Amino acid sequence: MFQLKGKRVLVTGAASGIGLAIAELFAAHKASVFVLDLDAQKASEAAQSIADKTGADAIGIGCDVSQPESVTAAFMQAGSGLDILVNCAGIAHVGNLASTTPADMDRLYAVNVRGTYLCMQAALKPMLAAKSGVILNMASIAATAGLSDRFAYSMTKGAVLSMTLSVAKDYISQGIRCNCISPARVHTPFVDGFLAKNYPGQEAEKMKALAQSQPIGRMGTPAEIAILALYLCSDEASFLTGVDYPIDGGFFNLR
């Protein structure tokens, strides 16, 4: 079950965190993986590491998902016959309505919304030609829950959810499935960097507070998100489309 042999997969934001975990797991299940990241060097290093660990084909490609020319070039480098697109590239922001600037809004929109749109659009042509394909987007519990100081970020993840449903509806008859995952807090390098920058000397205390915001008492791991992604992108999930999957440690129902 869940084997992806012969599948060509493109993962954005795949040099670290959730994207990297997904790329590694998909490669371990026999997929050929294209590792896209803003940092071309890190993308190449991640791809080499994946190839060494799994023996699968993995190619690193530098790509700024917010720029149409960069996305077009990256997808051309990946070539035709794309079977699966996983949109993980994204950036975060802390701030409420009063503190969020127009520049903040534009920056978050450019990567999280425009980037997801551009990559889905680039993947559409080969999927339509094949009359099959899977798109998986990374949303967040912020798309449907009111979170403190996440005004701009919540806006973008709400858009990702809405775009997911729209694409699922428009292309269901052409054999394309589109779903999204909405994680609660996940322990990634971003979290460590955020705490070190904003709470020097208080990292352990703040990490505990973040963990306890999920009823299960901890943050999720990138590997746990990757396992759900593997299922949703596999043929075993062929009856699933237009779904937002929470993976939240009980956040919604057990608080």
Say which of 117, 153, 171, 245 is annotated catalytic: 153
Spell out a b/e string for 13-24, using b for 16 or more CB atoms within 10 Å of the CB, else e: bbbbbbbbbbbb
Contact 182, 173 (CB under 8 A): no
Q: Which two tokens stand for residue 129?
A: 């030609």
Query: Is 153 one of the catalytic residues?
Result: yes
Show which residues are catalytic: 153
